[in-house]
Amino acid sequence: MIGYRQMKAPVWILPTILFLAGFFAVAGVAFGKDAAAIPQAGAASQIAPVPAGDADKTLAALHDELERSNTRLVLPGQQRPYFIEYRLLDLDERVISAEFGALLSSSTTRNRFMSVDVRVGNYKLDSSNFLSAEGFRGFLGSTGTVGIDRDYDSLRQDLWLATDQAYKEALDSYSNKQAALRALANAPTVDDFSQEAPVVMVEPRVEPDWTSRNWESEARTVSAVLKNYPELYNSRVTYHLIYATSYLVSTEGTQIRTSRSLAAIEASLGAQADDGMPLHNYLAVYANRPAQLPTAEAVRQQLDGKGKELAALRVAPPVKDYDGPMLFEPQAAGSILAQLLAPSVSGARPPLSMNTRFEQMMQALGGRSEWMGRIGQRVLPLTVNLTDDPSAEQFQGKDLIASYQVDQDGVRAQKVALVQQGLLKELLMSRRPGPDFDHSNGHGRSAFLAMPRPMVSNLFFTANNGETPADLRKKFLDACKQNGQEWGLLVREMDNPVLASSTQEELSDSLATLASGAPNGDRMPLLVYRVNVNDGHEELVRGALISQLTVRNMRTLSGIGNDNAVFYYAQSQDAETAGTALGAFGSANGGVPSDVIAPSLLFEEVEVRGPHGEPRRTPLVPPPPLQ
């Protein structure tokens, strides 16, 4: 998977980060001269061949140091590792930012990062998946940067020291975990790690090419269109062009090298209504390769449309409190499904926690699975099928950005029929088993060498009785009339504060609002229209906050369209939001590329709260003219 640096975490999240951080001790070398050479079962004895003429020695260095660790790594009187895994990410990234036609920054970086995972114990009970009173223990081994020139000897030196540290951390974690288990009346019975068939796959490296287009010129041209909107307080257009090669070797025999690329254009626009309400809008465009991004003129037109929407929001009336039918068009439906379903489609059990704050935090952020333990039960309308298919590459001629052959655990990707005719059949699995399934189905995903966790790839939501947009709209208006309402609410687009926020303060405020309301199913729409039930006239409104919309509301959908469309997004890998309802708010800067293919959805009853409280004061002096 693609992976790279995250933006600075909001202030309200910092205590959580400190709580989750593990405290690892650095110790001495663990390669004893008298250590017996006892290779572990499944260890690869031969290096997987690379294409002819390929001078990359990374896989050879990983393999050779793994073999040495596998035969000699042991402390006297202590257990040997039963599993060792090396992961390495080779990352080339170009980032160009511009605002109002002026270039803000342009950088090209090259980095290589490693992660070492050493486990002691066995597949049933090992040193991983443990959260002590201090924080996480055993989820990841030692991580860090390595040389960028793919030097064989330098990489082996880094791996040697990191493996030593990871092994001693694993021994410490295993000892603490065993002590914690002895204090429990009912110890967990689910295994810690699943045994999977090793995979050998060496793909050709994809080298970066920054010369196909003048990206700096495009960023200037695209951002300049926002000069037409002097009411904007701020804006930013950022091009992300990423090439990544991932390596994975393990003592089970897995040897993998895969390359892929990702390109994104993410733009934020900020303004303020005359009454002081802060407003924003955003544009997100994703492609598998830089050359596949739309032309500057096409993006300029899209961004101009976003400017018009934000200008209309400034003069739109605030929404009034509402309780009734709500229609989500495909783009909004894709976003709401990403928020509602992500926590529940994961089948991996949570870590053993000796601190109740972890469970409280996951509950507070909407990270509790509603579907675990409900295999065979109805979770969606009986006409609905839900499938996640990493092998899918296109939908109706549009490229999908979440396709892959092997996941970050080194397991081959599988198509998973999660829900059939409304009944829950499967869950997404990594190599961390759960109470319902004990093997991976190739959905352990991550970015930037984070812990692989079960995550959506290409998620397809379909219905046998899908209605045309016109019929579904009529059903929506008829339902509003039956409730005696003069108007209903239609959502055209949901918010993504990570992309739309122009300042750290704005981002912190938005995420704090969502986090505090996550247990109640608070959701933040962006473009909401009040629709007259008599003539269908639409009027844009602002300040809406959806409340009490959870995955349980999906069981009683009033209507489902046949107008499926692709919603592109990046799943967050922040430690404090990944796997929760807030995990759908990611960016190309550190997120996991994902798609939801969804139709329009009609909910029978949704509660909406209008703006409350005192808005901020507007600037005393009007903005300067934009030439």
Residue 311 covered by a domain: no
pLDDT higher at 123 or 362: 123
Which element (helix H / strand E) includes 318? none
CB of 2 within 8 A of CB of 114?
Answer: no
Please, which pLDDT band fits residue 359 given cuts at 50, 70 and 90?
low
Q: What is the mean pLDDT of residues 353-374?
A: 67
pLDDT of residue 613: 64
CA distance 219 to 242: 16
Q: What is the mean pLDDT of residues 463-474?
A: 96
Q: What phi and psi values does residue 522 have, to the nearest 5 degrees? A: -70, 135
Q: What percent of the chain has pLDDT over 70?
A: 86
pLDDT of residue 27: 31
Structure tokens at 188: 């967990």
Half-sphere exposure (Cβ direction) of 356: Cα atoms closer than 13 Å: 0
- 273-282: b (≥16 Cβ within 10 Å) or e: beeebbbbbb
- Each residue's pLDDT tens digit, 41-78: 455 568 888 888 888 999 999 999 999 999 999 999 99
The mean-pLDDT minimum among 194-198, 342-346, 564-568 falls in 342-346
Please, which pLDDT band fits residue 450 given cuts at 50, 70 and 90?
confident
Residue 134 covered by a domain: yes
pLDDT of residue 505: 76
CB of 284 within 8 A of CB of 88?
Answer: no
pLDDT exceeds 80 at position 2 = no
pLDDT of residue 8: 36
Residue 443 covered by a domain: no
Q: What phi and psi values does residue 531 have, to the nearest 5 degrees? A: -110, 120
3 state SS of 199: coil
Q: What is the mean pLDDT of residues 277-286?
A: 95
Structure tokens at 366: 């909407």
pLDDT exceeds 90 at position 395 = yes
| Global confidence as pTM | 0.89
Cα torsion at 179, 181, 184, 188 (round to 10°)?
A: 170
Residue 30 covered by a domain: yes
Residue 334 covered by a domain: no
pLDDT of residue 136: 44
Show the beta-strand stretches assigned E in 76-124. Answer: 81-99, 102-120
Residue 77 covered by a domain: yes
Residue 139 covered by a domain: yes
Domain of 54, in residue numbers? 11-95+109-202
Q: How far is CA 458 from the centre of its chain?
A: 12
pLDDT of residue 358: 56
Residue 245 covered by a domain: no
pLDDT exceeds 80 at position 378 = yes
CA distance 10 to 8: 7
CA distance 314 to 307: 11
pLDDT exceeds 60 at position 237 = yes
Work out how many domains the chain is built from and give that number. Answer: 1
Q: Which of 589, 592, 606, 583 is nearest to 337 (CA)?
A: 583
